[in-house]
């Protein structure tokens, strides 16, 4: 074949410059989503579908003596009513936690083995005990209200520390003192010796409040069963179809190939939708028995009861320092509130993740973590944006500010003395991980510069003239992203000229289609606009570890790079046949295969078409398609420094964040516009927890915060303008040099907002206040301080 030089070479170069790595390319899905054309699970219906309504316990704790369903079964439109005993008879497996966590004595995490419907006992308000399926949603709801559970109430406990005390209500006979995991990390003898020898020890009791995971889209699911193939299909919002398929197959007690998961657009998750829930088992069971699809859609009021929640720790934190303010040891002791059942990853954020992230960006030789994860009569706990990472950074930065105050050392100086230096990288942290890259002092100094920290005193003086208290805080953070795991990178050259990328991560708001296409276009030179993303069907996604723990761009990015290399290798072999040259003489660049030293070439898209036409001789590849799964991909260590300034009205206690700055090290940034959006969202959620969000229960276990009338979320007016900057140190553990970014906003904002408020309140001698920093809580703190001063 006679090759030739064509304008496509220049066109490819221009396209790569426009859509390449590092360019702020607009998200592919925005035109669809902004116009309201997104397709979420509740937008789908199947012919003949029926509707499910759950029956939930109104008691936080109690023994089920019986469930009267006769009246409900005779109501109009009702197709069936089922209880826990019905599902037990069907042979389904319980919900468990698969994390290989062990207590300090070496024993495994104690399982609660949750059935889809409670059988003998209810353990929190909202615990499902039965469900109804009817022809219409209204009929299902009316019939559900006619189901009468006979529950003998038991005493309840909602506080994790109280639940471990003698005489506290016991949720499970096989879990003494309600402690499912007595997590321990660190060399206790060495840590104790370090604290004993320390020149100064700072101690703080800190409450990390429980928060609700409030997504735009409530949970919803549509179940179907094919009698011929004996196969279940579930349309449901998830964070990854492959892993959820495996989990659901285990619960249903069927082979993996008998389950299909479909996930359309997802209206947010933040960790909450990445586990299976009882409602899914229920509607799949009904779909099988009834021979017709069954749909369930949650309401916001029951979302507050049934969705997993986040954070929820009571911590005693200690930092040991030498006479010069050098950190010599840090330790945490306390409790994590698991809620009533253990499923998904619940114990991990409360224990392992907290310890793994505690050392942050500081040289801290010794680290100890002792956290009991405890069962209580509350909604189950799960992952929430950051899942232990923001918590750990929060504790560390709170300790540093307090230590600086107690030792009379400037807060900035104390941090600078303890930063890990670039010359010390790779750095073996006391948490057991090795940081491969970073310029922590450089990030910190840039944050001080862009925030004009040096002139804060002038701004504080102006605020004082206006009767306001003003405070500032600088908070560094470092996150250890998701544990090492593999990922799918399947590349398919379609007959219509498009290129399909299939991967096991899943976009539920992150904007995967654009940066993934940027990476693939850069690797293969295929047109950006021709690249399609497939993540949503477990029949097509044979493997994957989902989106979570800020892993997506690193995991799928590496999968793309590795798969692209395989495509190029096949392409060189094919091009050699077409161009009548030796395979060793074929070079690839800019989307074209060229005979070295000549202008004879063929573009990758043309080559893929020629292969589809089957015109190559025997021995040549018949396609450029590649189906590749990576080996384990290492964690990365995104880090940064955020600066917040607040003003407080002492007459009302209202806190306003008046200035906000963030400098971040996300390594190689594929799409800075998408990264900035992710950061803004995380900061907003951190501000929400810091200032207003808290899930509360009364002593009997009844939720107090069961709706938006009781549970405050930040509004646009609560979120300040943000100046965001980068100071990247590319990761050395993956070929793109990327680090995660999705959870970093929470890690940065949580601590700098709280510490800024404490800095402002220090004018009244206030040194300690716990989240949420509501106007009432801040006002009471000020009034209490004034009363002490007056006395």
pLDDT of 758-780, one tens digit each?
999 999 999 999 999 999 999 99
For residue 486, the model assigns a pLDDT of 96
Rounded CA-CA distance 420/427 in Å is: 8
Percentage, residues of the chain above pLDDT 70: 98
Q: In this model, does residue 617 exceed pLDDT 80?
A: no
Rounded CA-CA distance 524/5 in Å is: 18
What is the tens place of the pLDDT at every residue in 160-171?
999 999 999 999
CA dihedral 332, 334, 340, 343 (to 10 degrees): 20
CB atoms within 10 A of CB 262: 18
For 340-438, strand residue ranges (E) read 367-375, 427-428, 434-435
Q: What is 408-456 written as a DSSP string? A: T--HHHHHHHHBPPGGG-SEE-TTS-EE----HHHHHHHHHHHTTGGGH
Which residues have C-beta within 8 Å of that of residue 606, sequence separation ≥ 6? none
For residue 357, give the nearest of 313, 300, 309, 299 by alpha carbon.
313
What is the tens place of the pLDDT at every residue in 646-662?
999 999 999 999 999 99
Confidence of residue 620 (pLDDT cuts 50, 70, 90): confident
Instruction: Supply 732's token pair.
Output: 């050395």
* Mean pLDDT score, 350-363: 97
* Integer angstrom CA distances of residue 357 from 312, 332, 392, 395, 440: 17, 12, 6, 10, 15
Give yes or no for a contact between 362 and 435, defined as CB atoms under 8 angstroms apart. no
Q: What is the mean pLDDT of the chain?
A: 95
Q: In this model, does residue 473 exceed pLDDT 70?
A: yes
For residue 214, give the nearest of 125, 340, 308, 124 by alpha carbon.
308
For residue 18, the model assigns a pLDDT of 81
Rounded CA-CA distance 49/662 in Å is: 49
* Mean pLDDT score, 587-604: 96
Rounded CA-CA distance 683/745 in Å is: 4
Q: Which residues pair with 373 in a beta bridge?
A: 181, 336
Rounded CA-CA distance 733/736 in Å is: 9
Q: Are strands 469-478 and 639-648 parallel, antiparallel or unpaired?
A: antiparallel
For residue 315, give the nearest of 377, 382, 368 by alpha carbon.
368
- CB-count burial class (<10 Å; 0-12, 13-18, 19+) for 192: middle
For residue 618, the model assigns a pLDDT of 78
What is the tens place of the pLDDT at every residue in 529-586?
999 999 999 999 999 999 999 999 999 999 999 999 999 999 999 999 999 999 999 9
For residue 599, give the nearest of 616, 624, 581, 611 by alpha carbon.
581
Confidence of residue 467 (pLDDT cuts 50, 70, 90): very high
DSSP state at residue 138? H
Rounded CA-CA distance 500/494 in Å is: 7
Confidence of residue 4 (pLDDT cuts 50, 70, 90): very low
CA 427, distance to chain mean position in Å, is: 26
Rounded CA-CA distance 204/341 in Å is: 29
For residue 13, the model assigns a pLDDT of 58
For residue 281, give the nearest of 88, 524, 557 by alpha carbon.
88
What is the tens place of the pLDDT at every residue in 629-648?
999 999 999 999 999 999 99
For residue 9, the model assigns a pLDDT of 55
Q: Which residues pair with 491 in a beta bridge?
A: 501, 626
Instruction: Supply 182's token pair.
Output: 């007595």
């Amino acid at each position: 074949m006679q090759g030739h030089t064509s304008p496509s070479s220049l066109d490819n170069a221009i396209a790569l410059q426009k859509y390449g790595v590092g360019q702020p390319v607009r998200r592919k899905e925005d035109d669809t989503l902004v116009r309201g054309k997104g397709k979420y699970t509740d937008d789908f219906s199947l012919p003949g579908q029926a509707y499910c309504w759950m029956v939930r316990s109104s008691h936080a704790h109690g023994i089920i003596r019986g469930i009267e369903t006769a009246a409900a079964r005779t109501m109009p439109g009702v197709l069936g009513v089922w209880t826990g005993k019905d599902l037990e008879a069907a042979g389904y497996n319980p919900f468990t936690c698969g994390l290989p966590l062990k207590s300090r004595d070496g024993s495994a995490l104690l399982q609660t083995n949750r059935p889809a419907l409670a059988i003998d006992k209810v353990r929190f308000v909202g615990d499902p005990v039965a469900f109804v399926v009817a022809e219409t949603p209204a009929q299902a709801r009316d019939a559900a209200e006619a189901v009468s559970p006979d529950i003998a109430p038991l005493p309840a406990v909602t506080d994790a520390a109280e639940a471990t005390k003698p005489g506290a209500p016991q949720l499970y006979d096989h879990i003494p003192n309600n402690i499912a995991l007595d997590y321990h990390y660190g060399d206790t003898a060495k840590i104790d010796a370090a604290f004993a020898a320390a020149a100064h020890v700072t101690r703080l009791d800190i409450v990390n409040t429980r928060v609700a995971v409030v997504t735009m889209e409530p949970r919803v699911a549509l179940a179907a069963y094919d009698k011929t193939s004996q196969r279940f299909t579930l349309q449901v919002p998830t964070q990854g179809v492959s892993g959820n398929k495996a989990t659901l197959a285990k619960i249903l007690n069927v082979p993996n190939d008998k389950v299909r998961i479909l996930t359309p657009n997802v209206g947010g998750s933040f960790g909450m939708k990445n586990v299976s829930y009882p409602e899914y088992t229920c509607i799949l069971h009904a779909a099988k028995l009834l021979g017709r699809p069954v749909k369930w859609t949650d309401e916001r009021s029951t979302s507050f009861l049934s969705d997993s929640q986040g954070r929820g720790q009571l911590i005693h934190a200690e930092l040991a320092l030498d006479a010069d303010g050098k950190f010599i040891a840090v330790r945490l002791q306390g409790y994590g509130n698991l809620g009533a059942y253990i499923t998904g990853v619940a114990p991990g954020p409360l224990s392992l993740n907290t310890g793994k992230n505690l050392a942050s960006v500081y040289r801290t030789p010794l680290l100890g973590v002792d956290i009991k994860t405890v069962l209580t009569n509350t909604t189950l706990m799960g992952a929430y944006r950051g899942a232990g990472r923001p918590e750990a950074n929060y504790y560390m930065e709170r300790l540093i500010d307090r230590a600086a105050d107690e030792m009379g050392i400037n807060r900035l100086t104390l941090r600078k003395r303890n930063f890990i230096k670039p010359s010390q990288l790779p750095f073996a942290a006391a948490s057991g991980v090795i940081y491969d890259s970073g310029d922590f002092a450089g990030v910190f100094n840039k944050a001080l510069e862009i925030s004009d920290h040096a002139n804060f005193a002038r701004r504080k003086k102006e605020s004082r003239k206006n009767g306001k208290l003003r405070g500032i805080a600088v908070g560094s953070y470092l996150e250890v992203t998701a544990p090492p795991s593999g990922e799918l990178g399947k590349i398919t050259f379609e007959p219509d000229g498009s290129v399909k990328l299939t991967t096991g991560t899943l976009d539920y708001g992150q904007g995967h289609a654009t940066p993934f296409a940027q990476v693939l276009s850069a690797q293969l030179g295929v047109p950006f606009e021709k690249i399609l993303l497939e993540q949503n069907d477990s029949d097509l996604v044979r493997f994957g570890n989902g989106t979570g723990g800020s892993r997506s761009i690193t995991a799928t990015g590496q999968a793309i790079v590795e798969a692209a290399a395989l495509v190029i290798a096949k392409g060189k072999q094919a091009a050699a046949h077409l161009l009548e040259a030796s395979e060793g003489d074929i070079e690839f660049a800019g989307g074209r295969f060229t005979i070295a030293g000549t202008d004879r070439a063929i573009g990758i898209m043309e080559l893929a078409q020629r292969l589809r036409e089957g015109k190559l001789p025997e021995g040549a590849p018949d396609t450029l398609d590649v189906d590749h799964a990576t080996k384990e991909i290492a964690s990365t260590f995104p880090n940064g420094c955020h600066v917040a300034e607040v003003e407080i009205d002492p007459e009302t206690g209202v806190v306003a964040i008046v200035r906000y700055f963030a400098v971040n090290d996300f390594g190689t940034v594929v799409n800075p516009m998408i990264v900035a959006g992710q950061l803004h969202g995380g900061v907003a959620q951190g501000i929400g927890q810091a200032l207003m969000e808290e899930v509360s229960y009364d002593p009997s276990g009844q939720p107090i915060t069961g709706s938006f009338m009781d549970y405050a979320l930040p509004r646009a007016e609560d979120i300040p303008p943000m100046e965001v900057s980068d100071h990247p140190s590319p990761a050395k553990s993956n070929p793109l040099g990327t680090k995660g970014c999705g959870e970093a906003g929470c890690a940065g904002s949580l601590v700098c907002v709280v510490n800024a408020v404490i800095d402002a309140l220090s004018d009244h001698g206030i040194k300690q206040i716990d989240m949420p920093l509501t106007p009432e809580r801040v006002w009471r703190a000020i009034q209490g301080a004034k009363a002490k001063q007056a006395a």
